[in-house]
Every structure is written in structure tokens, then in C-alpha cells.
Amino acid sequence: MSLAPMLPIPSTAQDVQDIIRINMRSLRLARNWTQKDLSERSGVALGSLKRFESTGEVSLVSLLALAEALGALDEFTQLFPLPDARRLDELSEQQVARQRASGRKP
């Protein structure tokens, strides 16, 4: 059984922000850590952590530090998956990192 509250399927960026905020707080509480404990373990200022838990606002650097302290950093590597190759030549192209967009509209 999950400790996280049941939340609706996210449809906006604000929904995702709220889910991340609530899930992070739930994970912290499941570990029986105070905000001060997580602040010290992550290196994120206590004020920043409190603001994040109440509003969802936090820098990316702080969010990643909190995720690392809670053992949830791996999920962030899945945020922007590469598109599936449709042709064999696209597969080799994906292995060469592009530096800028082509300017063509899809």
C-alpha cells in the first residue's frame, strides 16, 4: 500500500509541481525525518525546503539535492527521453548530440 495520497492525473505544470511537492513531503515523513533533518542531509537551506513544501517553488539545483538525499534522483534521468528512431539512419543520428535545432517545423 502506498503512503502517498491519491492525486489526479496531472494535466498542467502546476499539477505536476503539486504532485512532486506532496510526494517529496510524504517520502520525508515516511522516513520520519523533520524538515531540519532533510535540510541538513541535502544541503538545501531550511527556508528553501519550507517554501518548497508549502508552495512547490524551489530551484532545480535544490530539487535535485532533495531528491538525492531521499534516494529519488534516478527518476530525473527519465524526464526527457530521446524520441524513438523511425528509420535506421535516425538511430545513428541520435548518438551524435545536436547542438541546436534545425529551424524546420515538424
All structural domains of the chain with their residue ranges:
13-78
Model confidence band, residue 1 (pLDDT cutoffs 50, 70, 90): very low
Summarize pLDDT for 12-25 with one digit per residue, the tens. 999 989 999 999 99
Q: How far apart are CA 78 and CA 82, in angstroms?
A: 9
Distance in angstroms (rounded) separating the CA atoms of residues 24 and 57: 13
| The three cell numbers locating residue 88 | 535506421
**The whole model's pTM is what?**
0.71
Q: CA gyration radius for the chain?
A: 18
Residue 60 pLDDT class (50, 70, 90 cuts): very high
What is the CATH T-level fold of the domain 13-78, as seen in this structure? 434 Repressor (Amino-terminal Domain) (1.10.260)
The per-residue pLDDT of the chain, averaged, comes to 84
pLDDT at 43: 98
